Structure 1
Amino acid sequence: MNTNIFLQIYHDYSERIQSGEIAAGTKLPSENDLTREYGISRETVRKALQLLSENGFIHKIKGKGSFALDIGRMNFPLSGLVSFKEMSERIGRKSQTIVYKTEHIPIPHAVARHLETDKHATVWQVIRARNIEGEKVILDKDYFRSDIVPLLTTEIASGSIYAYLEQELNLQISYAKKVISVEDATTEDYELLDLKEYTHVVVVRNYVHLEDTTLFQYTESRHRLDKFQFVDFARRSPGEEK
Structure 2
Amino acid sequence: MNKNIFSQIYTDYTQRIETGLLKTGIKLPSENEIAEEYATSRETVRKALHLLSQNGYIHKIRGKGSYVLDINRMEFPISGLVSFKELSERLGRPARTLVHETIRIPCPQNVARQLQITEQEEVWKVVRAREIEEEKVILDKDYFLASVIPALTAEIAADSIYAYLEGDCSLKIAYAKKEISVEKVSAEDKRLLDLGRDTHIVVVRNYVHLEDTTLFQYTESRHRLDKFQFVDFARRAVAEE
Question: TM-score w.r.t. structure 2 length?
Answer: 0.68
Q: What's the counterpart of residue 56 of structure 1?
A: none
What RMSD, in angstroms, separates the aligned Cα atoms of the two structures?
1.7
Distance 1:84 1:150 in 2: 22
Distance 2:236 2:208 in 1: 24
Distance 1:235 1:213 in 2: 26
Letter of the structure 2 residue corresponding to residue 98 of structure 1: L
Letter of the structure 2 residue corresponding to residue 157 of structure 1: A
Give 3-state SS (helix, strand or coil) of 2:230's partner: coil
Q: Does 1:97 align with 2:103?
A: no
Name the larger-Rg structure: 2
Kept in 2, the 8 Å contact 1:208–1:218? The answer is yes
Q: What's the counterpart of residue 140 of structure 2?
A: 140
Alignment deviations for residues 21-76 of structure 1 (CA, whole Å, 9 cap, x no partner): xxxxxxxxxxxxxxxxxxxxxxxxxxxxxxxxxxxxxxxxxxxxxxxxxxxx9831
Distance 2:106 2:96 in 1: 29
Q: What's the counterpart of residue 167 of structure 2?
A: 167
Letter of the structure 2 residue corresponding to residue 206 of structure 1: N
Distance 2:116 2:193 in 1: 29
Give 3-state SS (helix, strand or coil) of 1:189's partner: helix
In the TM superposition, residue 119 of structure 1 has moved relative to its aligned partner by 1.7
**CA pair 76-128 structure 1, distance change in 2 beyond 3 A:** same
Alignment deviations for residues 190-239 of structure 1 (CA, whole Å, 9 cap, x no partner): 00000000011110000000011110000000011111211101122331
Kept in 2, the 8 Å contact 1:205–1:218? The answer is yes
Letter of the structure 2 residue corresponding to residue 204 of structure 1: V
Q: What's the counterpart of residue 19 of structure 1?
A: none
Distance 2:209 2:88 in 1: 23
Q: What's the counterpart of residue 26 of structure 2?
A: none
Q: What's the counterpart of residue 180 of structure 2?
A: 180
Letter of the structure 2 residue corresponding to residue 112 of structure 1: A
Alignment of 1:1-242 (within 5 A): 75-239=75-239
Distance 1:93 1:228 in 2: 14
Distance 2:238 2:164 in 1: 38
- Structure 1: any 5+ residue segments left out of the alignment? 1-72
Kept in 1, the 8 Å contact 2:206–2:220? The answer is yes
| Larger CA deviation: 227-236 vs 137-146 | 227-236
Would you say how many aligned residue pairs link Structure 1 and Structure 2?
Answer: 169
Kept in 1, the 8 Å contact 2:74–2:227? The answer is no
Kept in 1, the 8 Å contact 2:74–2:229? The answer is no
Question: TM-score w.r.t. structure 1 length?
Answer: 0.68
Kept in 2, the 8 Å contact 1:202–1:228? The answer is no
Give 3-state SS (helix, strand or coil) of 1:188's partner: helix
Kept in 2, the 8 Å contact 1:123–1:145? The answer is yes
